[in-house]
Amino acid sequence: MPVFSLDPAQNSWCDELRAVAADHLRPLAEKGEPGRINRPLVAALGDLGLLSRMLTAGALDLCLLRESLAHGCTEAETALALQGLGSFPIVQAGTGEQRARWLPEVAAGRAVAAFALSEPGAGSDAAALALDAVRDDGPADGPGARWLLTGEKCWISNAPEADFYTVFARTTPGAGARGITAFLVPADRPGLTGAPIEMLSPHPIGALAFDAVPVSGADVLGEVDQGFRVAMNTLNLFRPSVGAFAVGMATAALDATLVHTAGRTAFGGPLKDLQSVAHQVAEMATRTEAARLLVYAAAEAYDSGAPDVPRRSAMAKLFATETAQYVVDAAVQLHGARALRRGHLLEHLYREVRAPRVYEGATEVQRTIIAKELYR
């Protein structure tokens, strides 16, 4: 499939998703409490089959899902994305037992997942994480091995209310990225506590405290000391789709701006007849389309197994999130004071659009990845 166009079936699916997001999911989102998991919304995503599709989607399908939902309901998009981020380590590296226990629950919207990588001292530099996994009974790996997790995680989406966490901990001190293991940790494990963090955007984020939380070989995702690869494989898939989320928000802002500037009268005519306004809208549209194409190209590279996925994923995430910030800000400027009123679409998007430039690798980190890949 050419990366510069979608086929009619894909376009129809995206239109359907936009309508479902606006008409069915938006009312559920509006009943939710900011900063808390909206379980009826998550359940609705399960009932609609969207979580099942997300778990089996390729990168392009995931991007179309996120872009389309973001256009009509950012909360629904985020709820779906967080389910994917927290559960994809199980999809790619889980045992049969782990998959059978958790993936049907995630797909149905009954269990909420979380991806626990960041720490107070290890955000963008994920390889520097310090959550300790200390051997509890002997050196052997395998199902009988046991560890105690001690330390903190911070900025974890869906914490502290998630039902399980994919947790990345240091099993070999001093080994950098090669000494990290991924664990599947149910929320009811003894010693695991958490607290919410109030953020600018309304989705749930919190901190986790691990006080000798017991895990065993049966909880390991993939192989011992190979968890960093699990994390990076997850991020390589989800980084382009963060870009898709951004494109969905930019498109919603652009659509609102087209309606407003065509209908709003000032200085003797509609705003769209002012060259300064028309050129601004043209720039917004061009950057949004360029971001969309970068996202689709990165998704196509991932799905085809291309060798340059890290570079393309970083480029898509970088450009799309920066573009969305520009487009939403420009849309607010063209709408004037009404766009800053609480409850206005653009006021909502203005709060939502800032975080994607930071999470899953800040803009500066994406530039570092791109440069390393170029010089490799």
pTM as predicted = 0.93
- Does the CA dihedral 297-325-330-71 come out positive or negative? positive
Q: Which CATH superfamily is domain 229-375 in?
A: Butyryl-CoA Dehydrogenase, subunit A, domain 3 (1.20.140.10)
The gap between the terminal CA atoms of the chain, to the nearest Å, is 29
Domain boundaries, the chain: 8-108, 113-224, 229-375
Quote the CA–CA distance of 165 and 205 in Å, as a whole number. 13
CB-based contact 74:352 (threshold 8 Å):
yes
Output the six-digit token pair for 57.
């989607």
Please give the structure tokens belonging to residue 281.
Answer: 């809208």
Domains 8-108 and 229-375 share a fold: no
- Long-range contact pairs involving 35-39 (C-beta distance under 8 Å, separation at least 24): 35/196, 35/198, 35/199, 35/202, 35/203, 35/204, 35/205, 36/161, 36/196, 36/204, 37/79, 37/112, 37/158, 37/161, 37/162, 37/204, 38/75, 38/79, 39/109, 39/112
Q: Do residues 148 and 213 lie in contact, with contact meaning Cβ atoms separated by under 8 Å?
A: yes
Q: Active-site residue 119, yes or no?
A: no
What are the Cα distances from residue 21, in Å, to 39, 45, 290?
16, 10, 24
Sequence-separated (6 or more) residues with CB below 8 Å from residue 310: 236, 369, 373
Question: How far apart, in whole angstroms, are the C-alpha atoms of residue 363 and residue 52?
Answer: 30
CA-based max dimension of the chain: 81
Nearest-5° angle of CA 248, CA 279, CA 344?
45
pLDDT at 236: 86
The phi and psi torsions of 277 (rounded to 5 degrees) equal -75, -50
Beta-carbon-side half-sphere exposure of residue 53 (alpha carbons within 13 Å): 16
Q: Which is the catalytic residue, given 347, 360, 364, 373?
A: 360
**Residue 220 CB burial class (10 angstroms; 0-12, 13-18, ≥19):** buried
What are φ and ψ of residue 226, in 5° steps? -115, 20
Neighbours of 58 (CB within 10 A): 13
pLDDT at 104: 98
- Cα–Cα distance measured from residue 44 to residue 361, given in angstroms and rounded to the nearest whole number: 29
3-class SS of residue 277: helix
- CATH class for the region spanning 113-224: mainly beta
Q: Which amino acid is it at 336?
A: G
3-state secondary structure at position 96: helix
> pLDDT tens string for the chain (376 positions)?
455 678 899 999 999 999 999 999 999 999 999 899 999 999 999 999 999 999 999 999 999 999 999 999 999 999 999 999 999 999 999 999 999 999 999 999 999 999 999 999 876 676 788 899 999 875 555 557 899 999 999 999 999 999 999 999 999 998 888 999 999 999 999 999 999 999 887 789 999 999 999 999 999 999 999 999 999 999 888 989 999 999 999 999 999 999 999 999 988 899 999 999 999 999 999 999 999 999 999 999 999 999 999 999 999 999 999 999 999 999 999 999 999 999 999 999 999 999 999 988 899 999 999 999 999 8
CATH of the domain spanning 8-108, picked from 1.10.540.10, 3.40.50.720, 3.30.70.2740, 3.30.2420.10: 1.10.540.10
Q: Is the dihedral of CA 207, 166, 30, 338 positive or negative?
A: positive
Return the pLDDT at 1.
Answer: 47
Its sign, for the CA torsion 106, 109, 110, 111, is positive
